[in-house]
Amino acid sequence: MSVSARARAFFPAVLIGLVALLPRLARLDLIDYRYDEAVAVRFALDIAGGAWYWLAPHSGSVATHPGLALWLMAIPAALSHDVLVIAGFRAALDALAAGVLAWALQRLLPRPAALGAALLYALGPWVVYFARKVWVAPINAWGVLIVLGIVLLLAERRSVGWVLASLGVALSLATHLSALYLLPAYAVLAVVALRRLGLGRFALGALPVLLVSVAYGALDGQTGYTNLRALAGAGTAAGTFSLAPVDFALWQMEGRLLPEVAGLPAAVPLLPQLGLGAVLLFGLGLLRIVSRRGRAWRDDALAQMALILAVFWASLVVTQVRAGSAVQPHYVQAAQPFAFALMGVGLAWLAERVGVRRARIAIVAVVALLLIFFSSGLLRVNEAAAARALQPAAGYRPLLPVLEIARQARALLRECGQGGIAVGVQHAEASIDEGAATYSALLEDLHPRLFPAGEVALRPMGCATWVIAEGPAPALAGLGPTRGPAAVAAPAMDLPATVLGTWEDGLELRAVRREGGAITALVAVPATPPATAPDAHWFVRVVAADGAPLGSVDLGALPPAALRSGDVLRLWAPIPGLAQSGGGLRVAIGRYRYPSQEGLGVRLPDGTWVAAVEVNP
């Protein structure tokens, strides 16, 4: 390709990349944001803060994937803790991939066909949907890199093409284990590369794939190759054979099922149906190339490229049509770049049949329909859905409502100019709790502290704000909201001056009360917490006036690192039958180390050390 030809190919590619940015970056606050997305952002922030993950923790239900997706998101996370910035970075990378795809296809296909295929990729509904997801999943930019490598190797016999294709496969393997299904196609391409390049340049180009494969194999070998066996379907029940991968691959190229997954209404105006047309186009294009040129395709770059691309697409899809673990839609996501590149082959055949002028008109019409689709559907109706509830449609949870709660929390703190923020969740651990991961990432710069709102209410010293995540929060009963989502100013917890008991780490029991069917207790954190506090849980035991046990409850604990000087804890322990019992109760409150269950001593006001404080509330 001459310099002038490269320039002519470059500017349309840039334009397509800019067009791809529009649907990917518009209204990022409407992106699908659930547990997988929240924990991925949480771990990316951890990496930006100095953590190190070879593997992505909690990265999938089928297998544990390598950590490149997290490291990639850690780049924007190091610059900004804003989730929208991280999502925009992922989306912009995919828009860049659309431009590179256009640039690559123009090197071998007629321009209308190449640009048409790239535009369809740039505006394909499912491509855009996955590009706006912040989770551990295949990244299409690596697939586009493979396409570019195939074009350079086959059309121009350049060794850099083999290097780029191998790098794309290696990056795919390091991002998501579904890339293992690319290896059969990579082996076919390796045979072609070996014949064209010779052993030395071939081995050098294959090095990235070899290194990534050995590294992950060594990690997975420590668990008996659990993840690799899961992807291969080893040890799974028979009778799970399904054509779901083929179905997933086809509807990801059109728009089918997008409404119910992305929160759109059932009938979206002008929703494009490109799937069957795509199959027809590249099928006829391949048939035309092979039938017209016979055995000459072996020496024809276009024919070879089309067939190699078809092998890559089929490798990801057909290898998953087997008895084994259930296939998830994003496990065939990496096939998208190959599918749309093949559509370019079909469009080339179409342009040959109908003429370049008519082909251009058709391409402009399809692009216009896709732009109307995004402007009339995806970007507006989701906003209305998000305003109604956290989960307006099955399988869809827009970021907007939780983002608004985080904004309210920031505003509440700004009103007083001091204090802290506490997030009430089911489990006070961001790696396993969706609400904890969500709000700890959205409020990262405020260093929020988590507390299990079903058992403990944490009231930071000073002007404090609570963010209540989803689900009931009984520990807050009588103090404010008992069910999320909400952001509220945390009310004061009036502490009696009398100290009922002081534990080894300085925590002071100030009050024990009977509230309906529960026992509540107020605990103060001392002015100078110990440097090393024990990880201790609470227990509450209740005995009736006649000595009969009414019930007991063991409560979870806040991690010692979550406690600050001046904090107040409100324990909430529901006791069966307490509401119907009379007076004269004896309540014992104590703590034990976890997980050893060794009791933690408590000093009474008279200096006596006991295992638990006993009071009559």
Residue-wise pLDDT tens digits, 353-395: 777 777 777 777 777 766 666 655 555 545 555 554 444 445 6
Residue closest to 303 by CA, chosen among 144, 108, 116: 108
Domains of the chain plus CATH, in order, are: 13-226+242-383 (no CATH), 400-489 (no CATH), 501-615 (2.60.40)
> What is d(CA 185, CA 168) in angstroms, rounded to the nearest whole number?
13
Write the pLDDT tens digit of every residue in 578-603. 877 777 788 999 999 887 888 889 99
For residue 503, give every residue at least 6 positions away whose Cβ sits within 8 Å of its Cβ, in sequence order, or none: 509, 536, 591, 600, 601, 602, 603
Query: Which of 240, 232, 238 minimizes the C-alpha distance to 177?
Result: 232
Rounded to whole angstroms, how far apart are CA atoms 93 and 85? 12
Task: Name, in order, each residue with C-beta under 8 angstroms of 401's C-beta and a sequence gap of 6 or more.
Answer: 386, 387, 389, 390, 485
Q: Say which residue the tokens 């799937």 belong to.
A: 275
Whether residue 110 has a cis bond before it, omega within 30° of 0 = no
Residue 333 predicted with pLDDT over 70: yes
> Do residues 150 and 189 touch, judged by C-beta distance below 8 A?
yes
CA distances from 94 to 19, 25, 168 (A): 12, 11, 14
Q: Return all residues near 4 (Cβ < 8 A) that are at least 6 apart.
A: none
**φ/ψ (deg, to 5) at 237:** -70, 145
Q: Interhelix angle for 381-388 vs 400-416, to 10°?
A: 60
Q: What percent of the chain has pLDDT over 90?
A: 35
Please, which residues have CB within 8 angstroms of residue 39's CB and are 6 or more apart in sequence? 57, 58, 430, 431, 434, 437
- The two structure tokens encoding residue 345: 């082959």
Helix, strand, or coil (residue 603): strand
Among the residue ranges 265-274, 330-339, 444-453, 506-515, the one predicted with the least confidence is: 265-274
Residue whose token pair is 């999502």: 87
CA angle 337, 338, 344 (to 5 degrees): 95
- Please give the Cα distance from 140 to 127 (Å, whole number): 9
Q: How confident is the model at residue 287 (pLDDT cuts 50, 70, 90)?
A: confident
CA distance 465 to 448: 10
Residue-wise pLDDT for 546-588, tens only, equals: 778 888 899 877 777 778 888 999 999 998 878 777 777 889 9
Contacts of 291 (CB under 8 A, 6+ apart): none
Q: Is 99 exposed, middle or buried (0-12, 13-18, 19+ CB in 10 A)?
A: buried
194-246 pLDDT, tens digit per residue, is: 988 888 889 989 999 999 988 888 888 887 787 787 777 644 444 456 777 88
Q: How far apart are CA 189 and CA 334, in angstroms?
A: 17
Residue 311: predicted pLDDT: 92
Choose between 9 and 343: higher pLDDT. 343
Environment class of residue 432 by beta-carbon count within 10 Å: exposed (0-12), middle (13-18) or buried (19+)? Answer: middle
For 308, phi then psi, to 5°, come to -65, -40
Q: Could you tell me the end-to-end alpha-carbon distance of the chain, in angstroms, rounded to an integer?
A: 87
Residue 201 burial class via C-beta count within 10 angstroms: exposed 0-12, middle 13-18, buried 19 and up: middle
Q: Is the peptide bond before 595 cis (omega within 30 degrees of 0)?
A: yes
Q: What is the 3-state secondary structure (H, E, C) of 124-157?
A: CHHHHHHHCCCCCCCCHHHHHHHHHHHHHHHHHC
Report which DSSP code applies to 200. Answer: H
- Write the pLDDT tens digit of every residue in 137-181: 999 999 999 999 999 999 888 899 999 999 999 999 999 988 999
